[in-house]
Every structure is written in C-alpha cells, then in structure tokens.
C-alpha cells in the first residue's frame, strides 16, 4: 500500500477530548463525528475541504485520554489517510488497529512541518518527505497486529477465528 | 521457577499455562463493559458483522448508561434507547436503568459484578479501576467490546510492569487521590504507556479499598494499561462481603519490573493538578499561595464518588457554607452510596452548606451535563482529567484534587486545603 498527502501538524499529548470533544458524542454516526474531528485542537478542522487524503503528524502520546473510538473514527471518516506520531496512547493505538486506520510510530516527527508532502510505502516500510527530500524507515508491527490489519480490522479477524474453530 | 509480576500471574491463572511478558494472547474475559457513549458504537459494529446470532455470552456483558444520563437531550436519549433495546434483544440482564444505575466503575465492584483475579475489559478508559481488587482490568475501544459480543474474547499483549513500592501511612486529609496525582507527576502522562503499574510493599495495608479504587482508576492518566494492587486481607474482607472467597496475590520478590519507584506515603502532601494535564501538580501549600478564585467545585465521579470520599468532604464542609461565588455539586457514585450518605447524615451536611446534590452520573467530568463551565470559569474537581475544555468552554479551567481539598476550596472560595480554613 502506498499513499501520498499533505501534512497537518499537531503537538504533544493531543488528547481524545481535543480530537472529538464530549459535546459531540451524543451520536455514533461516523460522518457526523467526522465534522468535528480535531475540533478543540484546531477549530473547524473537520469541515475543511483540503483535509481529505491528508496526513496528521504529531508529537508524543497522541490520542491520550478516553477510550472513545469516536476519536479515530472521526479522523478516518474525515478522510485523513494516516496519522504519524512519536508514539500513541495505548487505547488509541488499539482502536486504530481494530478499525483499520493506518498509524505509524516514528521518532523524527519534529523534522516534518505543516504543509510538507509525504509519500508512505507501507510494504517497503518507508516514509518519504518529498518537500524536504528526506527518507525515514518505519518499524513493522508484530505479526499478530499485522494479521488484524490485513483482515481489515479486529471483527473480521475475530470472525475468521470463530469460523476456523467451527471447522475444527 | 522464574519470578513473576502480578500481571503475569493473573494471565497465567486465567489461561492455565506459562506465558511470557510481551506475548499476544486471546482471552475469554470474565466481564466486558460498555456505557451509553461507547456501547452504541459497539452495537453498530456488531450488527454490521453478525447475522442475528445471539451474543457469545449475555452474562459476560455489562451495560451501564451513566455518562449522559438522566438523558441530557434527545440524541442522548436515543443512544440509551439503542443500548436498552440491544440488552433486551440479547437477554443481557446487567443493563442498569436510571434509578438503579451508578457510575460504572463505582457500581461494578459494589455489586460484585467484577472481582479479584478476573480479567475484565471495558469500553471506557477508567476500566483500570478494578485493578484495586487484584484483577487485570483495562480500557479498550468499542470494536473490542463488539469482539466480546461476537466471540467472548479480547486480544492482549501481556504488558511489562512498573513497580511502585509503598511504605508508611497517609497523613490526615491525604488520600489515594494525592498519591496517584503525585505518581502521575513523577511518571508524566505517558510514563506508564503500554505498561501495568503494580503497587506493593508494607504501605499497601494502610490504604483503604476506596483509596485503592481511586489510585487504580487514574493509572490511565500516566498512560498505564492497568493499576494493580495485591490481594491482601483488606481485599479479602471486601470480597467476602460480596460473597467471594478469593486467594491472595502479590508479585514475587525480584519480579522483573522494568523500574521500581519507592514512595513513602507519609511524605505525600495534598496535590492540586493545574490545567491542562493531570501531571501538572503542586503541593497544596504552594497552590494555596496562588490564591486562585474558583467558580465551581465538583465532588464525585468514578475517581472520588465513594462513601469515604463523601465522608471526608462532609467532615470538612460541616458547619460552613459554600462561598457565595461558588457552586458546589456533589455526585454520589451509586444509589447505594447515596442512601448510605443519607443515613450517615452527610447529605444533610451538604444541603445545610448549600451544596447541590446530583444523581449518580459522570455528568460534568467530561463536559457532559449538570455543571458545564462558561468561558473563563475555574473549577476544583475530584474527577480525573483537566484537559482543555474538559468540563465545558475551551477557555475554562479544571484543577484536580482530593475530596478534602475540593471541600475546603468550596468553603474558602479559592483553592485551599482543610488546614487553610
């Protein structure tokens, strides 16, 4: 899988209250949630036209706070293609893997700026910063998580497990 | 035999085999929890993939609509309706209606729905609360909850553990909240990311069950996957009252902790976490010097809505009135705690002091309802997060503290400790 997009840059400890504030949690409709994606980190972000296909790049501990899956859902349905951060809070990472939102942990996000054009090749494990002409290596996920990702999320994987069990 | 952390012992007992830290495992969980915010997303996902089959085990599932209840608006009412209808359709008996509902992480241990040695997941980040019982309990997402509906199982990576060895005893008016805030200050908000925090040492026996719940509850605020206490005579007594006879649990000496912090409980002072991170703590003496004028005090939540929290607040508030410019709102954690507070005369104390008493709900903690802050307002709250806009307007501020500091601040009208009254 390869994708290309423009960077929107955020800081450290971006929490789930900033990604999708509780005042918008009275619904589970993903397209409604998408409108308020990153609302309290950058007001109006979810309603911008130019975020489709873009990449969020952030610092440490992205997605800390609540377990609300509404946070990665709002990012995914807003059309953000990938989130890159120095590291992710545990539940947020889990939720992204479970719902199939591509995320990448890499230490050098300080070298990437707002507006940079990135090309990511997941098979080769490479991020290219086309604007700054720099290249970074991505660490692959453990096999267990890759299997979930390949199945298109945890429920599809879990269903396969069930089916295999029935056939045993 | 190799030395083991409590985390490893809990997983090995459940799966009945030797395991390694870092290993991925599928576990049939004892209980899985959802609330009115997270369960609807799980229900959507489950119904997309499931062709009208029953859920794996209805008795494994607990649905607690506590966040926006009593329903704050039509949309919230529709969310709860969806959860109610799902519970009915799939014969899930542990669905709690208003009048019986409490704040999930206070309610479940109280009702004996979770217990020592259990492996529990909850689509709520504060599910780590039950680690206080010597259980492995962690917050997950809605898709994980849907996975339990479907298969009864959840996936885990057995985490590394970070040890906290405790000694000594809390001073008066210092409690579990102060210990966990101090620990978050030391570790930072991601210092325990992907790790289990395990508490042990002689100091543990000086910490009440209610304080242990508060401590485990906020393990997530340091990024922790779990916050686990040993199962000792205090836990056994608590479980006995709920009809469970449980085996003890503690980490092996020289268990492979990635780090061990040593904390003397007697050296901890009341803490106040300033906006906008729970790690941003000052000792109360220093915070009092700042003379921060407040508009609201919230006492309650899954962190501090238990009976000993209300007792502590009432002891301090008794005979005083809430400062004229302050709104003080009390949220008993469950109906049982509410009744207990009435029978002990605590509610009378709060009413006499001109506090408002709310029903058990998460309410303002996450900026839901029943105490939302306006632009520029400041609150002292016994809740667990003080992120930007957490309790309302993006330009409002939340200061986290213990029930003792919150009660004293309500009376003083500025951030203050009981000694400052």
Q: How confident is the model at residue B1 (pLDDT cuts 50, 70, 90)?
A: low
pLDDT for residue A168 is more than 70: no
Task: Tell me the shortest Cα–Cα distance from B205 to chain A, in angstroms.
Answer: 30
Write the burial class of residue B84 (CB in 10 Å: 0-12 exposed, 13-18 middle, 19+ buried). middle
**ipTM of the complex, rounded to two decimals:** 0.93
Chain B residues in contact with A66 by the CB 8 A cut-off are: 124-125, 366, 385
Output the six-digit token pair for A18.
């900033």
In this predicted model, what pLDDT tens digit does every residue of B53-81 receive, in sequence order? 899 999 999 999 999 999 999 999 999 99
Cβ proximity of A55 and A84 under 8 Å: yes
Tell me if domain B23-157 and domain B271-420 are identical in fold.
yes
User: Domain coordinates of chain B in residue numbers?
Assistant: 23-157, 161-267, 271-420
Give percent of chain B with pLDDT exceeding 70: 100
CATH 3.40.640.10 correct for B23-157: no
pLDDT for residue B96 is more than 90: yes
In this predicted model, what pLDDT tens digit does every residue of A66-120 receive, in sequence order? 999 999 999 999 999 999 999 999 999 999 999 999 999 999 999 999 999 999 9
Given this model, what pLDDT does residue B378 score?
Answer: 98
User: Domain coordinates of chain A in residue numbers?
Assistant: 2-140
Name the residue among A28, A61, A153 with its Cβ closest to that of B143: A153
How many residues in total does chain B contain? 421
Buried b (16+ CB within 10 A) or exposed e, A6-23: ebbbbebbbbbbbbbbbb
Domain A2-140 adopts which CATH fold? Aconitase; domain 4 (3.20.19)
Q: Which CATH number fits domain B161-267: 3.40.50.1220, 2.60.40.420, 3.40.1350.10, 3.40.1060.10?
A: 3.40.1060.10
Output the six-digit token pair for A48.
């911008």
Chain B residues in contact with A144 by the CB 8 A cut-off are: 24, 155, 157
Side-chain-side CA neighbours of B226 within 13 Å: the count stands at 33
In this predicted model, what pLDDT tens digit does every residue of A128-160 receive, in sequence order? 999 999 999 998 889 899 899 888 899 999 988
Under an 8 A CB cutoff, do B150 and A155 touch? Answer: yes
Q: How confident is the model at residue B334 (pLDDT cuts 50, 70, 90)?
A: very high
Given this model, what pLDDT does residue A161 score?
Answer: 81
> Closest residue of B to A99, CA-based?
B143
Mean pLDDT of all residues belonging to chain B? 97
d(CA B418, CA B421) in angstroms, rounded, equals: 6
Q: Which of B133, B202, B147, B108 is nearest to B29 (CA)?
A: B147
Domain B271-420 adopts which CATH fold? Aconitase; domain 3 (3.30.499)
Answer whether B44 touches A (CB < 8 Å): yes
């Amino acid at each position: 899988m390869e994708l290309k997009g423009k960077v929107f840059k955020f800081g450290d400890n971006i929490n789930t209250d900033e990604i999708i504030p509780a005042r918008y949690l009275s619904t589970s409709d993903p397209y409604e949630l998408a409108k308020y994606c990153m609302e309290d980190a950058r007001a109006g972000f979810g309603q911008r036209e130019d975020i489709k296909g873009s990449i969020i790049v952030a610092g440490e501990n992205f997605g800390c706070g609540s377990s609300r899956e509404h946070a990665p859902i709002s990012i995914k349905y807003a059309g953000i293609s990938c989130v890159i951060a120095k590291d992710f809070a545990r539940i947020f990472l889990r939720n992204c893997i479970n719902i199939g939102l591509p995320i990448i942990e890499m230490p050098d996000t300080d070298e990437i700026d707002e507006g940079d054009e990135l090309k990511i090749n997941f098979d080769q494990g490479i991020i290219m910063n086309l604007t700054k002409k720099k290249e970074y290596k991505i660490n692959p996920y453990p096999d267990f998580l890759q299997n979930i990702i390949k199945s298109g999320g945890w429920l599809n994987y879990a269903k396969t497990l069930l089916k295999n069990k029935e056939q045993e | 035999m190799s030395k083991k952390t409590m985390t490893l012992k809990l997983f090995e007992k459940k799966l009945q085999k030797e395991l390694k830290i870092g290993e991925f495992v599928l576990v049939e969980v004892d209980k899985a929890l959802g609330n009115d915010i997270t369960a609807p997303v799980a229900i959507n996902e489950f119904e997309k993939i499931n062709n009208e089959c029953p859920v794996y085990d209805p008795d494994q599932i607990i649905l607690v609509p506590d966040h926006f209840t009593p329903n704050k608006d039509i949309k919230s009412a529709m969310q709860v309706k969806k959860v109610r209808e799902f519970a009915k359709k799939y014969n899930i008996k542990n669905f709690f209606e208003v009048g019986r509902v409490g704040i999930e992480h206070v309610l479940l241990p109280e009702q004996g729905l979770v217990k020592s040695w259990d492996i529990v997941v909850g689509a709520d980040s504060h599910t780590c609360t039950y680690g206080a019982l010597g259980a492995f309990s962690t917050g997950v997402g809605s898709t994980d909850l849907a996975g339990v509906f479907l298969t009864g199982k959840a996936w885990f990576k057995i985490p590394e553990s970070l040890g906290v060895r405790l000694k000594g005893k809390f001073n008066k008016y210092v409690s579990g909240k102060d210990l966990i805030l101090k620990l978050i200050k030391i570790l930072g908000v991601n210092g325990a990311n992907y790790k289990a925090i395990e508490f042990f040492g002689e100091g543990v026996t000086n910490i009440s069950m209610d304080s242990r719940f508060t401590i485990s509850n906020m393990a997530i605020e340091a990024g922790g996957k779990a916050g686990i206490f040993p199962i000792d005579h205090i836990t056994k007594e608590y479980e006995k009252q709920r009809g469970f006879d449980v085996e003890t649990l503690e980490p092996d000496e020289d268990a492979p902790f990635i780090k061990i912090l040593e904390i003397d409980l007697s050296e901890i002072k009341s803490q106040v976490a300033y906006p906008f991170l729970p790690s941003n703590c000052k000792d109360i003496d220093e915070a009092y010097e700042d003379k921060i004028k407040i508009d609201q005090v919230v006492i309650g939540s899954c962190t501090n809505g238990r009976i000993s929290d209300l007792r502590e607040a009432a002891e301090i508030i008794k005979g005083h009135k809430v400062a004229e410019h302050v709104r003080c709102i009390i949220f008993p954690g469950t109906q049982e705690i509410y009744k207990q507070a009435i029978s002990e005369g605590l509610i009378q104390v709060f009413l006499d002091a001109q506090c408002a008493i709310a029903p058990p709900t998460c309410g303002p903690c996450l900026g839901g309802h029943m105490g939302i802050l306006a632009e520029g307002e400041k609150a002292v709250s016994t809740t667990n997060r003080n992120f930007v806009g957490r309790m309302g307007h993006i330009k409002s501020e939340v200061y986290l503290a213990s029930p003792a500091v919150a009660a004293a601040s309500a009376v003083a009208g500025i951030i203050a400790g009981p000694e400052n009254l």
